[in-house]
Structure 1
Amino acid sequence: MIQKIIPVIMAGGTGTRLWPLSRSSAPKQFIQVVDGKTLFQETLERVADCDVYEAPVVITNQDFRFTVAEQAREVGVNLTTIILEPIARNTAAAIAAAALYLKQTFGEDVILQLLASDQEIDAGKDWRDAIVTARQTAASGKIVTFGITPSEPATGYGYIEQGEPLSTDTYEVKRFVEKPKLAAAEEMVAAGKFFWNSGIFMCRAELLLSELEAFAPAVHRAVAAAVDGATIDLDFVRLDKTNFEACPDISIDYAVMEKTTKAAVVASTFAWSDLGSWDAVWKLGEKDDKGNVVIGHATVMNTENSLVLSRASHLAVQGLKDVAVIASEDAVYVGPLDKAQEVGKLVKYLAKTKETANLTEIHPTSYRPWGGYTSLLNGGRFQVKRLFVLPGKKLSLQKHFHRSEHWVCVKGTAEVTVGDNVTLVRENQSVYIPQGELHRLYNPGKITLEMIEVQTGSYLGEDDIVRTSDEFGRS
């Protein structure tokens, strides 16, 4: 019987390189970039073959815990567990936490595959062949990295130089190269012995932990204490905050891969991109006869080699070339495609100004364990939201001191508690919740409930809430 692999998906990043769609509260792994699924969901489906994989482990920021759980539910993928980082401490700490937890749970011989949650990969035959080769190599006592055959001298990726061949149709790793200048990248691609560093690894848990203990003992020590002190919260494993904060902030590349003598690289020919910028999205997109990638509500005329994407208003783009035009529900970005790597600088600039900082942090749609909401309209003393409540889920029994609420049912049937009264509210019916009154919303049906909520009052912040009863442990 062939030993199965446990996928470890790292989903805690808060990058904003695909702004304005991605925000610090809604990073690119959890947003729909091209089609109807998020990059995180595509990653889950990539490791869903039960003949090859056990149920995946996800390690993420505690702020994303319900997003992870809900997006896994949407695609029907069961998880072994969700490990919550109390603070970001880079990939070495995240990987160490997952390896320690799985060693304790499944034993030291368990084989892990470590994956980022925000990459676009063609998971066809080339992917499956690389998995088979990597698993054989990992079982032989190597930490295997997946090296992508480069298609161009890209300067946004790190590189791996192959060393001597190994018996498992892989190579020793001769060295890792940081993101190079263009001239160096051209030389490496021409040499034919370099790969892009995908950031995907496979190895035995025990080997990874022993190398961490040898080369990054402070990481191993702090994370081991954080795992030993972890607590169970619903379906989540919460790492101990004090010990995890003591861990050095360092990547797995610096901590282990650049120092170990047990690294191997499997030459991988599957299509891969980390979708780190809008020009990467354009390269992967389906182009029209003028080289344009048009997604969502948009029309182009006399426009060439451009990316036009809208999640909200209809975009009409005329007479432009080599540009990215991206519209979210509340912001629009326009810039040259060849400068798309610099969006991060723009986001930092926006974050410095009070009037625009919110655009870099808060996404209009927020997920909760019961479903979530989308902010539709904001005024001085009012705001309008669309609530969506999953079948069988209920909000906490709660009250607000500074606002009243009007709920209008637009899809499904709601059971609404207001004070001592419990009523059913059907489509095109409404209910009023006075300021300071205890209330609760419940979806007793089999389809997602949708409500339009109008809030009015002197203060409309999310922290104006007192929960007296909550099935998710938040009261």
Structure 2
Amino acid sequence: MEDVMALRPVLLCHDDGGTLWPLARSSHPKPFAPVAGGESPFQIAVRCLCVPGSVEPIVVTPERYRFVVQDQLAQVGIAPRAILIEPAARGAAAATLVAAVHIAAQDPDAILVAMPADHVITDPHAFRAAIIDALPRAGADEIVGFDLELEEPDTGRPLPEPEPANDAGAGVVQLQRMRPRGNGDRPRASRPTHMVVCRAGALLAAVTAAVPGAVEAMRAALDAARNDLGFLRMAADSWTPLSRQALDRAMGAAASALPAILRSDTLSDARDWNEIWRMAQRDESGTATIGSATAMGCHDTLLRSDSPHVELVGIGLTDIVAIALPDAVLVVRRSEASRVPDAVAALAAMRAPQATQLPVDNRPWGFLENLSQGARFQVKRIVVKPGAALSLQSHHHRAEHWIVVAGTAQVTVDDAVSLVSENQSIYVPLGARHRLENPGKVPVTLIEVQTGSYLGEDDIVRHDDLYARD
């Protein structure tokens, strides 16, 4: 446990391209979705790596997910050491390297463990044991990469045969040397996870040798970074010219030729719905049900409903994945699960909001949920956290009527400020400057009815905003 407490955890948060649609979408991607049915992969990883008394995590994320990161950390009671905002996506290698630069500025000998936040740790004890097993190699300046052992070998790269080792961690297949397999051996495979354990200084030295100037550019991006509401926003002019391909190659060249191989029951990359079926608890017929779902005579099937208002029933299905949310349903053969991103792209081409947006939209002040919509009206449920406030704003094309159903809101409409309590309402005329705040200790819940000729979210003119949004 002491070894884990000394590590510097780094979580890499990125959109995965819709592999677990409709549960995860670009507005709220896989790292933050309840993939395993409870906490998000991000929260599971933070809990696993940040044991009581350990060093706080560093999180690297695009700007659009910064408040989700902040909220999910607060939900598990862990404060970050830093949340680094990427000006542009440059992949897992770049995110790992900039975290290493940040860590090395204080302690170049510190050992970091960096992992994508969309991977699901299924056995925390074995996962920690695998990291501890890699520490001697990291202390000797190896860049220890981690691969994931696969059950379907044809989707990965050949895995060398393991040899027994007395010091192998509980969650790792210990590899001591490459050896050929006999013709009768069961083929095995692994897939890279973009997870590394290494000294921060050793990683920077290796990348500097492979891509001269890259580390200096990252230092410049951090040196010129500005603190924005507790986030560290890196300078775009130094960050943006970095080549993702060059950094990926440099990270691959720096990593040890002998990766640690994590067992499939220790970590999952949750790469598609077939993998979620494999992770799930299944009955004797190989069928898993999650949420409001019922299976009758089904085999090797996953049925999942994430809405209490949608009952999903499968009868006589074999090798099927069916996922239901309030606004979208996916039905696919397990063998075709890798094609789900193609469906997301097709929906996006049709401008279907379900392609990218969940019915519940998380905001820094709380969340809103679309309940109903027509040609000239829209109804939403809005929940505002204690102490939070919406921006001071106005609209060119719509008026709004707010009905408070829980808590007490402070509402500004032009020059008038009033308290609106449960079962009370207030009208916001078209064009009026308005703001809603929660001055209390409990969440405020209201029903918003919008009316007008155009109801798009881009009809918002912000005059003042606590969260520095445009």
TM-score (norm 2): 0.89
1:229–1:239 Cα contact (<8 Å) kept: yes
Give the residue type in structure 1 aligned to 2:319. Answer: D
2:171 match: none
Residue deviations 1:400-437 (CA, integer Å, cap 9, x gap): 22111111222222222222332222222222111111
CA distance in 1, matches of 2:407, 2:319: 45
1:359–1:225 distance in 2 versus 1, CA, 3 Å: same
Q: Are 1:302 and 2:301 counterparts?
A: no
Residue pair 1:409, 1:450 contacting (<8 A) in 2 also: yes
Hey, what does 1:376 align to over in structure 2? 371
Amino acid at match of 1:140: A
Q: Within the alignment, does 1:200 sit opposite 2:195 as a pair?
A: yes
Does structure 2 conserve the Cα–Cα contact (< 8 Å) formed by 1:5 and 1:54? yes
Report the Cα distance in structure 2 between the residues aligned to 1:77 and 1:399, rounded to whole angstroms.
36
Displacement after TM superposition at 1:252 (Å) = 5.8
Provide the residue aligned with 2:287 in structure 1: 292
Is residue 439 from structure 1 mapped to residue 434 from structure 2 by the alignment? yes
CA contact (8 A) 2:393 2:464 kept: yes
Matched residue, 2:254: 260
CA apart distance, 1:15: 1.9
Deviations 1:177-211 (A, max 9, x none): xxxxxxx999898367x654333211111111111
Q: Is the 8 A contact 2:145 2:256 kept in 1?
A: no
For residues 423 and 185 of structure 2, what CA distance do their matches in structure 1 show? 62
**1:468 aligned to which of 444, 458, 463:** 463
Which moved further from structure 2: 226-235 or 163-172?
163-172
C-alpha contact (below 8 Å) 1:325/1:334 kept by paired residues: yes
Change in CA separation of 1:45 and 1:155 when aligned onto 2, cut-off 3 Å:
farther
Structure 1: stretches of 5+ with no match in the other structure = 176-183
What are the superposed Cα offsets for residues 260-306 of structure 1, whole Å, 9 maximum, x if unpaired? 37555335445221111111111111223432211222222222221
CA distance in 1, matches of 2:410, 2:301: 48
Q: How far did residue 392 of structure 1 move?
A: 1.3
In the alignment, the residues of structure 1 paired with residue 468 and residue 255 of structure 2 have an alpha-carbon distance, to the nearest angstrom, of 46
Which of 237, 243, 265 is the aligned partner of 2:238? 243
CA distance in 2: counterparts of 1:174 and 1:448, whole angstroms:
58
What aligned pairs does 1:339-418 form with structure 2 within 5 A after superposition? 339-354=336-351, 356=352, 358-418=353-413
CA–CA distance in structure 2, aligned partners of residues 252 and 167 of structure 1? 36
SS of equivalent to 2:35? coil
Q: Do the aligned residues in 1 keep the contact of 2:391 with 2:464 (CA within 8 Å)?
A: yes
Partner of 2:70: 69
Does the 8 A contact of 1:97 with 1:223 survive in 2? Answer: yes
Which aligned pairs between 1:48-59 and structure 2 lie closer than 5 A?
48-51=50-53, 53-59=54-60
Q: Match of 2:36?
A: 34
**CA separation of 1:155 and 1:126: change in aligned 2, threshold 3 A:** same
**Does structure 2 retain, via aligned residues, the 8 Å contact 1:415–1:443?**
yes
Check conservation: 1:218, 1:248, Cα contact below 8 A.
no
- Alignment correspondent of 2:151: 152
* Aligned match of 1:119: 119
After superposing the two structures, state which structure 1 stretch, 69-78 or 427-436, moved more: 427-436
Show the counterpart of 2:449: 454
Cα distance, 1:399 vs. partner? 1.7
Aligned counterpart, 2:186: 190
Matches within 5 A, 1:202-221: 202-217=197-212, 219-221=214-216
Equivalent position SS for 2:286: coil
Mapped pair 1:425 → 2:420 = yes
What amino acid is aligned across from residue 9 of structure 1 in structure 2? L
Name the aligned partner's letter for residue 298 of structure 2.
T
The 3-state SS of whatever aligns with 2:203 is: helix
Shift of 1:94: 1.3
CA distance in 1, matches of 2:357, 2:255: 44
User: For 1:102-157, what per-residue CA distance to the aligned partner results, in whole angstroms no more than 9, with x for missing partners?
Assistant: 222x2211211011101111344322222222223211211112344x36233444
- SS in structure 2 at match of 1:50: coil
Q: How far apart in 2 are the matches of 1:153 and 1:364?
A: 35
Could you state the TM-score of these two structures normalised by the residue count of structure 1?
0.88
CA contact (8 A) 1:159 1:197 kept: no
The question of whether the paired residues in 2 share the 8 Å contact of 1:16 and 1:23 is answered with: yes
Shifted more, 94-103 versus 225-234: the winner is 225-234
Give the C-alpha shift of residue 72 in structure 1. 0.9
Contact 1:162–1:265 (8 Å) recurs in 2: no
**Contact 1:147/1:160 (<8 A) preserved:** no
Does 2:226 match 1:231? yes
SS of the residue 2:254 aligns to: coil
* Cα 1:162/1:116, change in 2 over 3 Å: farther
1:190 match: secondary structure? coil
Residues 402 and 299 of structure 1: is their aligned pair in 2 closer, same or farther, counting only changes over 3 Å? same
